Amino acid sequence: MDDISIKKYGEPILRHICEPVEKVSEAERNVFASMAETMYKHRGIGLACPQVGLNKKLIVADAGSGLVTLANPEILEKEGIEDFLEEGCLSLPGISVNVKRPTQVFVEGLDRKGNKIHLKATGLLARVLQHEIDHLNGILILDYAPFLKRMLLKSRLRKTVRVNKGIALL
């Protein structure tokens, strides 16, 4: 998997509930590498498989402390205060939503070698993991917006998608 592109709003894969991987093989390690490269190239801090068109439970994240790669990540527990922060998304260009999330999570998953790991994440990494795990469950940051704002943002995204596909709207 050399050249991967980021799927944008409107692509059906972004609403799929992803399939767990049976084991972390060389194929999954290659996907992790390609996803990380794409994430860094686009100046993101997280990326999930559906965002690159794959129906697998794989995520990558780097909130400033180094690359985290997880297969089949599951949030076991959420703690801390719930805090609002503007979140953007590589699949929703130009859109941000104020999302309320807990400041600490305990996540279980498989590492690059296929070993089960437990990770305690706080602050920005906790937020990124929650965001990327949402993607694996077909949830977008739009879903956290109040109804009227969500409708406005969806309309703006649909116009952007049409223009990018060569259909200019005047």
Q: Across the chain, where does the E strand assignment appear? A: 46-48, 58-61, 68-88, 96-110, 116-122
Which of 79, 64, 28, 78 shows the shortest CA–CA distance to 49?
A: 28
Q: Which residues pair with 152 in a beta bridge?
A: none
Separation of alpha carbons 154 and 144, rounded Å: 13
Q: Which of 87, 92, 98, 96 has its CA nearest to residue 157? A: 92
The catalytic residue positions are 132
Tokens of 144: 């956290």
Rg (CA), the chain: 16
Burial call 84-94: b when 16+ CB within 10 Å, e when fewer: eeebebbbbee
